[in-house]
Structure 1
Amino acid sequence: MSKNAEDFFDLSAFDDNLRLQEEGIDVKIVGPNGKETDLVITVCGPDSSRAQAASQALQKEIEAEAAKEGNTDLNSPEDQRRRQISYLAKLTKGWNKPIGQDRLAFSEENAVAIYTKYPLIENQVRFTADRRSSFIKA
Protein backbone atom coordinates (compact mmCIF):
# COMPACT_ATOMS: atom_id res chain seq x y z
CA MET A 1 0.00 0.00 0.00
CA SER A 2 1.47 3.33 -1.01
CA LYS A 3 1.85 6.12 1.48
CA ASN A 4 0.68 9.32 -0.12
CA ALA A 5 -1.42 12.23 1.06
CA GLU A 6 -4.62 10.33 0.32
CA ASP A 7 -3.71 7.34 2.51
CA PHE A 8 -3.64 9.16 5.85
CA PHE A 9 -4.53 12.38 7.60
CA ASP A 10 -1.47 14.45 8.47
CA LEU A 11 -1.60 15.74 12.07
CA SER A 12 1.52 17.91 11.86
CA ALA A 13 -0.53 21.14 11.95
CA PHE A 14 -2.12 19.93 15.20
CA ASP A 15 1.32 19.08 16.60
CA ASP A 16 2.59 22.57 15.71
CA ASN A 17 -0.46 24.08 17.42
CA LEU A 18 0.14 22.09 20.61
CA ARG A 19 3.85 22.96 20.58
CA LEU A 20 3.08 26.68 20.27
CA GLN A 21 0.53 26.43 23.07
CA GLU A 22 3.19 24.89 25.32
CA GLU A 23 5.90 27.38 24.34
CA GLY A 24 3.56 30.34 24.57
CA ILE A 25 3.18 33.24 22.19
CA ASP A 26 3.76 36.94 22.59
CA VAL A 27 0.88 39.37 22.98
CA LYS A 28 1.86 42.90 22.02
CA ILE A 29 -0.16 45.11 24.33
CA VAL A 30 -2.07 48.01 22.80
CA GLY A 31 -2.53 51.12 24.92
CA PRO A 32 -5.70 53.13 25.55
CA ASN A 33 -4.85 55.24 22.49
CA GLY A 34 -5.11 52.17 20.24
CA LYS A 35 -1.38 52.08 19.50
CA GLU A 36 1.04 49.28 20.31
CA THR A 37 3.10 49.80 23.43
CA ASP A 38 6.49 48.23 24.04
CA LEU A 39 4.99 45.81 26.58
CA VAL A 40 4.89 42.18 25.44
CA ILE A 41 3.29 39.45 27.55
CA THR A 42 3.92 35.77 26.78
CA VAL A 43 0.98 33.45 27.34
CA CYS A 44 0.35 29.71 26.89
CA GLY A 45 -2.68 28.25 25.16
CA PRO A 46 -5.85 26.53 26.36
CA ASP A 47 -4.50 23.03 25.64
CA SER A 48 -1.12 23.56 27.29
CA SER A 49 0.06 21.74 30.40
CA ARG A 50 -0.11 25.13 32.18
CA ALA A 51 -3.81 25.38 31.31
CA GLN A 52 -4.46 21.87 32.60
CA ALA A 53 -2.60 22.59 35.85
CA ALA A 54 -4.43 25.93 36.22
CA SER A 55 -7.81 24.23 35.78
CA GLN A 56 -6.93 21.63 38.40
CA ALA A 57 -5.71 24.27 40.85
CA LEU A 58 -8.86 26.34 40.42
CA GLN A 59 -11.06 23.26 40.86
CA LYS A 60 -9.30 22.50 44.15
CA GLU A 61 -9.79 26.12 45.22
CA ILE A 62 -13.51 25.95 44.43
CA GLU A 63 -13.84 22.68 46.34
CA ALA A 64 -12.02 24.18 49.34
CA GLU A 65 -14.28 27.24 49.26
CA ALA A 66 -17.35 25.02 49.03
CA ALA A 67 -16.17 22.99 52.02
CA LYS A 68 -16.05 26.07 54.22
CA GLU A 69 -19.01 26.07 56.56
CA GLY A 70 -21.65 28.56 55.52
CA ASN A 71 -20.08 29.44 52.19
CA THR A 72 -23.12 29.31 49.92
CA ASP A 73 -22.26 31.86 47.23
CA LEU A 74 -19.36 30.47 45.20
CA ASN A 75 -20.47 32.09 41.98
CA SER A 76 -20.68 35.73 42.87
CA PRO A 77 -19.46 37.97 40.04
CA GLU A 78 -16.47 38.95 42.17
CA ASP A 79 -15.51 35.31 42.79
CA GLN A 80 -15.88 34.46 39.11
CA ARG A 81 -13.73 37.40 38.03
CA ARG A 82 -11.07 36.59 40.64
CA ARG A 83 -10.91 32.98 39.40
CA GLN A 84 -10.75 34.05 35.74
CA ILE A 85 -7.84 36.37 36.48
CA SER A 86 -6.10 33.71 38.56
CA TYR A 87 -6.44 31.24 35.68
CA LEU A 88 -5.04 33.76 33.17
CA ALA A 89 -2.13 34.57 35.49
CA LYS A 90 -1.30 30.86 35.63
CA LEU A 91 -1.20 30.75 31.80
CA THR A 92 1.11 33.74 31.66
CA LYS A 93 4.79 32.87 31.22
CA GLY A 94 6.21 36.34 31.59
CA TRP A 95 6.66 39.81 30.18
CA ASN A 96 9.51 41.53 28.42
CA LYS A 97 10.30 44.28 30.95
CA PRO A 98 9.40 45.42 34.46
CA ILE A 99 5.95 47.03 34.62
CA GLY A 100 4.95 50.32 36.23
CA GLN A 101 6.69 52.70 38.56
CA ASP A 102 7.17 49.84 41.02
CA ARG A 103 9.13 47.98 38.30
CA LEU A 104 7.13 44.78 38.79
CA ALA A 105 9.04 41.75 37.58
CA PHE A 106 6.97 38.86 36.33
CA SER A 107 5.38 36.61 38.90
CA GLU A 108 1.97 35.01 39.04
CA GLU A 109 1.06 37.32 41.92
CA ASN A 110 2.12 40.40 39.92
CA ALA A 111 0.21 39.15 36.88
CA VAL A 112 -2.94 38.91 39.04
CA ALA A 113 -2.35 42.48 40.26
CA ILE A 114 -1.83 43.85 36.73
CA TYR A 115 -4.81 41.98 35.24
CA THR A 116 -7.03 43.04 38.12
CA LYS A 117 -6.11 46.71 37.93
CA TYR A 118 -5.94 46.98 34.12
CA PRO A 119 -8.78 45.15 32.35
CA LEU A 120 -7.51 46.54 29.02
CA ILE A 121 -4.34 44.46 29.43
CA GLU A 122 -6.22 41.46 30.82
CA ASN A 123 -8.66 41.43 27.90
CA GLN A 124 -5.90 41.48 25.29
CA VAL A 125 -4.03 38.61 26.91
CA ARG A 126 -7.24 36.63 27.50
CA PHE A 127 -8.35 37.12 23.89
CA THR A 128 -5.17 35.43 22.72
CA ALA A 129 -4.94 32.77 25.43
CA ASP A 130 -8.53 31.59 24.98
CA ARG A 131 -8.26 30.96 21.23
CA ARG A 132 -6.57 27.91 19.80
CA SER A 133 -6.44 29.76 16.49
CA SER A 134 -3.99 32.22 18.07
CA PHE A 135 -1.46 29.40 18.21
CA ILE A 136 -1.47 28.49 14.53
CA LYS A 137 1.70 29.15 12.56
CA ALA A 138 1.24 31.95 10.09
Structure 2
Amino acid sequence: ANNVAGSVIGKKGSIVRTFEIETGASIIFAPPISHFEERIVTISAFENLESSNSPAQDAVILVFARIVEDHIRNGFHPASTADSPVTARLLIAPSTVNLLTGNEGEVISELREVSGADIQLLLGEPIPDVTSENDVVVQ
Protein backbone atom coordinates (compact mmCIF):
# COMPACT_ATOMS: atom_id res chain seq x y z
CA ALA A 1 0.00 0.00 0.00
CA ASN A 2 1.08 3.59 -0.49
CA ASN A 3 1.51 4.35 3.22
CA VAL A 4 3.84 1.35 3.60
CA ALA A 5 5.78 2.40 0.50
CA GLY A 6 6.04 5.89 1.97
CA SER A 7 7.56 4.52 5.17
CA VAL A 8 10.28 2.83 3.11
CA ILE A 9 10.81 5.74 0.73
CA GLY A 10 10.88 8.40 3.48
CA LYS A 11 10.53 12.15 3.12
CA LYS A 12 11.90 13.20 -0.28
CA GLY A 13 13.36 9.69 -0.67
CA SER A 14 15.66 9.98 2.34
CA ILE A 15 15.23 6.43 3.67
CA VAL A 16 15.43 4.61 0.34
CA ARG A 17 18.45 6.73 -0.62
CA THR A 18 20.16 5.71 2.65
CA PHE A 19 19.43 2.03 1.87
CA GLU A 20 20.89 2.46 -1.62
CA ILE A 21 24.07 4.06 -0.27
CA GLU A 22 24.41 1.44 2.48
CA THR A 23 23.96 -1.54 0.15
CA GLY A 24 25.12 -0.31 -3.24
CA ALA A 25 21.84 -1.54 -4.75
CA SER A 26 19.28 0.39 -6.77
CA ILE A 27 15.79 0.43 -5.17
CA ILE A 28 12.97 1.69 -7.41
CA PHE A 29 9.29 1.84 -6.46
CA ALA A 30 6.85 1.50 -9.36
CA PRO A 31 3.85 3.83 -9.34
CA PRO A 32 0.71 2.46 -7.64
CA ILE A 33 -1.42 0.16 -9.80
CA SER A 34 -5.18 0.55 -9.49
CA HIS A 35 -6.22 -3.11 -9.04
CA PHE A 36 -3.40 -4.08 -6.68
CA GLU A 37 -2.90 -3.12 -3.05
CA GLU A 38 0.80 -4.03 -3.22
CA ARG A 39 3.53 -1.90 -4.79
CA ILE A 40 6.24 -3.34 -6.99
CA VAL A 41 9.78 -2.58 -5.86
CA THR A 42 12.64 -3.36 -8.21
CA ILE A 43 15.93 -4.02 -6.45
CA SER A 44 19.04 -4.58 -8.54
CA ALA A 45 22.79 -4.42 -8.13
CA PHE A 46 26.08 -5.48 -9.61
CA GLU A 47 27.16 -8.58 -7.73
CA ASN A 48 30.45 -8.99 -5.89
CA LEU A 49 31.40 -12.67 -5.98
CA GLU A 50 33.79 -12.20 -3.05
CA SER A 51 31.02 -11.01 -0.71
CA SER A 52 28.90 -13.46 1.30
CA ASN A 53 25.72 -11.45 0.63
CA SER A 54 24.92 -9.62 -2.57
CA PRO A 55 24.01 -5.92 -2.46
CA ALA A 56 20.55 -6.84 -3.78
CA GLN A 57 20.03 -9.36 -0.94
CA ASP A 58 21.05 -6.76 1.62
CA ALA A 59 18.63 -4.23 0.11
CA VAL A 60 15.74 -6.74 0.10
CA ILE A 61 16.39 -7.42 3.80
CA LEU A 62 16.47 -3.70 4.67
CA VAL A 63 13.26 -2.97 2.73
CA PHE A 64 11.43 -5.94 4.24
CA ALA A 65 12.61 -5.06 7.77
CA ARG A 66 11.37 -1.50 7.29
CA ILE A 67 7.96 -2.79 6.16
CA VAL A 68 7.72 -5.03 9.25
CA GLU A 69 8.73 -2.08 11.48
CA ASP A 70 5.94 -0.01 9.87
CA HIS A 71 3.38 -2.75 10.56
CA ILE A 72 4.52 -2.98 14.20
CA ARG A 73 4.29 0.82 14.59
CA ASN A 74 0.71 0.55 13.31
CA GLY A 75 -0.31 -2.10 15.86
CA PHE A 76 0.57 -5.40 14.17
CA HIS A 77 2.58 -7.66 16.48
CA PRO A 78 3.71 -10.81 14.64
CA ALA A 79 4.90 -12.57 17.81
CA SER A 80 1.46 -12.22 19.40
CA THR A 81 -0.48 -14.21 16.81
CA ALA A 82 0.47 -17.29 14.84
CA ASP A 83 -2.48 -16.60 12.53
CA SER A 84 -0.77 -13.50 11.11
CA PRO A 85 2.57 -14.51 9.62
CA VAL A 86 4.86 -11.86 8.22
CA THR A 87 4.85 -12.38 4.46
CA ALA A 88 7.06 -11.21 1.62
CA ARG A 89 6.13 -11.71 -2.01
CA LEU A 90 8.82 -11.67 -4.69
CA LEU A 91 8.40 -11.65 -8.46
CA ILE A 92 11.02 -13.78 -10.15
CA ALA A 93 11.75 -14.49 -13.79
CA PRO A 94 10.72 -17.94 -15.00
CA SER A 95 14.35 -18.66 -15.89
CA THR A 96 15.27 -18.51 -12.19
CA VAL A 97 12.57 -20.85 -10.86
CA ASN A 98 14.84 -23.90 -11.26
CA LEU A 99 17.55 -22.17 -9.20
CA LEU A 100 15.04 -21.88 -6.36
CA THR A 101 13.52 -25.33 -6.61
CA GLY A 102 16.47 -27.45 -7.72
CA ASN A 103 16.01 -30.95 -9.06
CA GLU A 104 12.89 -32.47 -7.51
CA GLY A 105 12.51 -29.53 -5.12
CA GLU A 106 15.55 -30.21 -2.91
CA VAL A 107 16.75 -26.57 -2.86
CA ILE A 108 13.41 -25.10 -1.78
CA SER A 109 13.00 -27.93 0.76
CA GLU A 110 16.40 -27.11 2.27
CA LEU A 111 15.56 -23.39 2.35
CA ARG A 112 12.32 -24.17 4.19
CA GLU A 113 14.11 -26.42 6.68
CA VAL A 114 17.01 -24.06 7.39
CA SER A 115 14.91 -20.88 7.61
CA GLY A 116 11.69 -22.23 9.09
CA ALA A 117 9.82 -20.20 6.47
CA ASP A 118 6.83 -21.45 4.52
CA ILE A 119 8.14 -20.80 0.99
CA GLN A 120 5.66 -21.28 -1.84
CA LEU A 121 5.73 -20.79 -5.60
CA LEU A 122 2.36 -19.28 -6.46
CA LEU A 123 2.03 -20.33 -10.08
CA GLY A 124 -0.86 -18.64 -11.84
CA GLU A 125 -1.07 -15.90 -9.19
CA PRO A 126 -2.51 -12.70 -10.70
CA ILE A 127 0.24 -10.12 -11.14
CA PRO A 128 0.17 -6.53 -12.40
CA ASP A 129 0.27 -5.88 -16.14
CA VAL A 130 3.54 -3.97 -15.77
CA THR A 131 5.40 -7.23 -15.14
CA SER A 132 6.30 -9.96 -17.57
CA GLU A 133 3.33 -12.27 -18.03
CA ASN A 134 5.59 -15.23 -17.23
CA ASP A 135 6.93 -13.88 -13.92
CA VAL A 136 6.37 -16.17 -10.93
CA VAL A 137 5.31 -15.08 -7.44
CA VAL A 138 7.34 -16.54 -4.55
CA GLN A 139 5.83 -16.11 -1.10
- Structure 2-normalised TM-score? 0.26
- The structure having more radius of gyration, on CA atoms, is 1
- Structure 1-normalised TM-score? 0.26
- Pick the structure with more helix per residue: 1
